[in-house]
Amino acid sequence: MEFTRRETLALGAGAAALAVLPIRVEASVEDEIAAFTGGAEIVEGGVELTAPEIAENGNTVPISVSAPGAVAIKVIATKNPSPKVATINFGALSGSSEASLRIRLAKTQEVRAIAKMADGSFRGASQTVKVTIGGCGG
């Protein structure tokens, strides 16, 4: 198979774009996390993230987060077109720092929960969810 100069250039450009794309997605996830933590270190554990291992329908995936002593929890879907899912702020009368939501997942990916504790430290937890049918349209 012979390539003309033009085709070779186009192929190269395509490959470069492909290589750059995943990095950008990852960067936006990191940006979201950094915006929440302010760059502070995240210690794994202390947060419970419950999500199904396999979700047949990515349109409604039930998840629940629980972090005793947390003042806020941010939920991030790492491979969604927009990784932000929800930010939960617990008020003075919040019985225990936990909440359940139903979320959309575009494809099989890791869901991450980051909790801001009352003392200003950050805790994290992750869970991989396999998605059979994606839930973000398009």
Residue numbers of the site for another protein (CB under 8 A)? 59-61, 64, 77, 80-82, 84-96, 98-105, 135-138
Query: 84: exposed, middle or buried (C-beta count within 10 Å: 0-12, 13-18, 19+)?
Result: middle
Smaller CB separation from another protein, 1 or 92: 92
DSSP state of 138: -
Minimum distance of another protein from residue 36's CB (angstroms):
11
Smaller CB separation from another protein, 63 or 125: 63
Minimum distance of another protein from residue 83's CB (angstroms):
8
Minimum distance of another protein from residue 59's CB (angstroms):
6
Of the candidates 61, 62, 84, 57, the residue with the CA atom closest to the CA atom of residue 73: 84
CA distance 12 to 135: 32
Minimum distance of another protein from residue 54's CB (angstroms):
17
Cα distance between the two ends of the chain:
34
